[in-house]
């Protein structure tokens, strides 16, 4: 495989941009495409435009570590300012040349022989389907992208304006209207104080327990691994979303996820977790970009061991004491949140344990061979990380 490898990044929210910036600045690698189905970058911060939309975290904790910004105008950044910040990142790192906007990533099927993914995308404007290949695919599709309208009997006969807060009707004049808000999550908390300021606007809020996003147990893109199985099928077989370190899945070589299963927390900014994953992924992709290895695939054993440990920590957490959409079926396995501290996550992803991965050697003349022993340099690295793994286990016992 002598050609320069190509990386496909799916999604141009904070995760996709952080990944792209790291590839450019830390590996000096530019042969990647960020596929974005919308007409602009931004993800969450493009879609949520309701009055008062702001970050939940103090904004100084909610910026990329590469681009801290001392000049935020409020303690909690408002959407226009965060969106402008993201746009400035695109400009600063010239990411516009890597962006493929209005392009829905439909599928990526792994070709074991050629050691790459066959990709199909759809041009949202023309409807035309296109194909491409990539040696590495990185999902940054986010977790709040699919709003779900509440199932209320007769809602289809409602004659007024009806919309989800993440699809705000910016043309609607709320002045003098009777407004019913269904839900009591962070968004409602932000926009209700804004609309009650309007004269003669009557607001009633209805609260129940659920939040109104699609449960995060659906994987939106058809990614198929070396056995032809899709990620969605893998999740269903495993009784819900499951991954190694929330980042890799057995059977899916060179495929990485940002904000994968069990990576959300209520206490730590998403960006911090995503940047920890980005650093981990950089280390995984580097040997492939240097053509020393053509693919890495996480072992079932490592995935099982990690999930056993992580779900075991969940037993001591409060998450098991509530019915929540973060659990399968409301009260089943917890597949959304991470039960440990940010330090746990950082430590566990600080360096890949190469022995947790099956590598396929890169060979320019004889095609790819499965190579458990990898190259001599990789063996040394694996031995080094074996020692590190013992140290991690020891430190973890002390924590």
Ligand X SMILES: Cc1cc2nc3c(=O)[nH]c(=O)nc-3n(C[C@H](O)[C@H](O)[C@H](O)COP(=O)(O)OP(=O)(O)OC[C@H]3O[C@@H](n4cnc5c(N)ncnc54)[C@H](O)[C@@H]3O)c2cc1C
Q: Which residues contact ligand X (rule: CB under 6 A)?
A: 10-16, 35-38, 43-44, 48, 53, 55-57, 62, 104-105, 140-142, 144-145, 186-187, 220-221, 258-259, 269-271
The kind and range of the H/E element at 293 are strand 293-298
Query: Between residues 56 and 238, which has the closer beta carbon with respect to ligand X?
Result: 56
Whose Cβ is closer to ligand X: residue 22's or residue 271's? 271
Beta bridge mates, 133 = 118
CB of 151 to ligand X, least distance (A): 21
Greatest Cα-to-Cα distance within the chain, rounded to the nearest angstrom: 76
d(CA 175, CA 170) in angstroms, rounded, equals 13
Shortest reach from residue 156's CB to ligand X, in Å? 26
> Which SS3 state, helix, strand or coil, does residue 303 take?
helix
User: Residue 95 Cβ, how far from ligand X at the closest point, in Å?
Assistant: 13
- Distance (Å, whole) CA 143 – CA 336: 9
> Do 377 and 292 touch, CB atoms closer than 8 A?
yes
Nearest distance from C-beta of residue 166 to ligand X, angstroms = 6
CB of 231 to ligand X, least distance (A): 12
Q: Choose among 338, 332, 349, 340: nearest CA to 262.
A: 338
In three-state form (DSSP H/G/I as H, E/B as E, the rest C), the secondary structure along 2-38 is CCCCCEEEECCCHHHHHHHHHHHHHHCCCCEEEECCC
Tell me whether residue 218 or residue 227 sits nearer to ligand X (CB atom).
Answer: 218
Output 104 or 118, the one with its CB closest to ligand X.
104
Shortest CB 320 distance to ligand X, Å: 23
CB of 295 to ligand X, least distance (A): 23
Least distance in angstroms from the C-beta of 83 to ligand X: 11
- Locate 38 and state its tokens: 């919308």
16 vs 183 by CB, closer to ligand X: 16
Q: Measured from the CB atom, is 35 or 306 closer to ligand X?
A: 35
- Mapped to the 3 state alphabet, what secondary structure does 318-370 carry? HHHHCCCCCEHHHCCCECCECCCCHHHHHHHHCCCCHHHEEEEECCCCCCCEE
Percent helix, strand and coil across the chain, each rounded to 5? 35, 20, 45
Q: Which of 255, 273, 259 shows the shortest CA–CA distance to 335?
A: 259
- Measure CA 215 to chain center: 14
Shorter beta-carbon distance to ligand X: residue 15 or 339: 15
Query: Which residue, 18 or 378, is less far from ligand X as judged by CB?
Result: 18
């Amino acid at each position: 495989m002598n050609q320069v490898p190509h990386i496909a990044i799916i999604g141009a929210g904070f995760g996709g941009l952080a990944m792209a910036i790291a590839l450019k600045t830390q590996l000096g690698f530019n042969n990647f495409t960020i596929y974005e189905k919308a007409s602009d970058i931004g993800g969450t911060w493009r879609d949520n435009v309701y009055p008062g939309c702001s970050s939940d975290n103090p904004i100084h904790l909610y910026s990329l570590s590469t681009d801290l910004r001392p000049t935020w105008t409020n303690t909690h950044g408002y959407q226009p300012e965060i969106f402008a910040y993201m746009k400035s990142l695109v400009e600063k790192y010239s990411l516009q040349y890597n962006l493929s906007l209005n392009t829905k990533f439909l599928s990526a099927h792994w070709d074991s022989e050629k050691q790459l993914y066959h990709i199909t995308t759809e041009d949202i404007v023309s409807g035309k389907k296109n194909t491409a290949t990539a040696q590495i695919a990185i999902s940054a599709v986010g977790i709040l992208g699919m709003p779900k309208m509440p199932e209320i009997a007769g809602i289809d006969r409602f004659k007024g304006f009806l919309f989800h807060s993440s699809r705000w009707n910016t043309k609607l004049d709320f002045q003098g209207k009777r407004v019913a808000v269904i839900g009591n999550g962070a968004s409602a908390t932000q926009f209700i104080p804004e609309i009650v300021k309007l004269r003669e606007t009557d607001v009633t809020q209805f609260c129940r327990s659920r939040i109104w996003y699609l449960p995060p147990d659906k994987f939106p893109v058809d990614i198929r691994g070396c056995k032809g199985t899709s990620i969605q099928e893998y999740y269903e077989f495993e009784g819900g979303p499951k991954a190694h370190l929330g980042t890799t899945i057995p059977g899916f070589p060179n495929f990485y996820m940002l904000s994968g299963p069990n990576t959300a927390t209520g206490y730590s900014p998403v960006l911090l977790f995503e940047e920890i994953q980005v650093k981990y992924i950089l280390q995984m992709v580097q040997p492939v970009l240097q053509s020393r290895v053509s693919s890495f695939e996480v072992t079932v054993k490592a995935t099982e061991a990690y999930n056993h440990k992580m779900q075991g920590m969940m037993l001591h957490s409060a998450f098991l004491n509530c019915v929540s959409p973060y659990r399968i079926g409301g009260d089943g396995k917890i597949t959304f949140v991470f039960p440990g501290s940010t330090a746990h996550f950082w430590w566990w992803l600080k360096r890949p344990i190469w022995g947790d991965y099956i590598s396929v050697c890169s060979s320019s003349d004889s095609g790819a061979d499965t190579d458990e022993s990898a190259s001599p340099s990789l063996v040394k690295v694996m031995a080094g990380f074996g020692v590190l793994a013992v140290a991690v286990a020891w430190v973890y016992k002390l924590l």
